[in-house]
């Protein structure tokens, strides 16, 4: 387990912090990716994900 500290609270693992802090529509894999990419823990857990209709747009056309 990798301990993580968010807002001066230390959690035993990323999973424990994710269960307690993250918005309901934010997958745990997204939080793990954000942390691996160097995001601050506060931002990684509390920034909502981009809604599907706004992802991967190119000249107003949704790409799958």
CA atoms within 13 Å, Cβ hemisphere of 21: 23
**Look-up of token digits 């999973």:** 15
In the chain the beta strands, taken as DSSP E runs, fall at 4-6, 9-11, 57-58, 61-62
Output the pLDDT for position 38.
Answer: 95
**Look-up of token digits 């809604």:** 51
Per DSSP, the three-state class of 17 is helix
Output the pLDDT for position 59.
Answer: 63
pLDDT digits (tens, 9 = 90+) for 7-62: 889 999 999 999 998 888 899 999 999 999 999 999 999 888 877 777 766 666 65
pTM value > 0.85 = no
Output the pLDDT for position 48.
Answer: 87
Domain holding 39, by residue range, is: 4-62
Q: How many domains does the chain have?
A: 1
């Amino acid at each position: 387990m990798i301990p993580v500290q968010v807002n001066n609270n230390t959690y035993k693992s990323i999973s424990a912090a994710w269960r307690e802090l993250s918005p309901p529509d934010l997958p745990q894999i997204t939080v793990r990716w954000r942390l691996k990419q160097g995001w601050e823990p506060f931002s990684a857990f509390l920034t909502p994900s981009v809604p599907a209709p706004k992802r991967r747009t190119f000249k107003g056309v949704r790409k799958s």
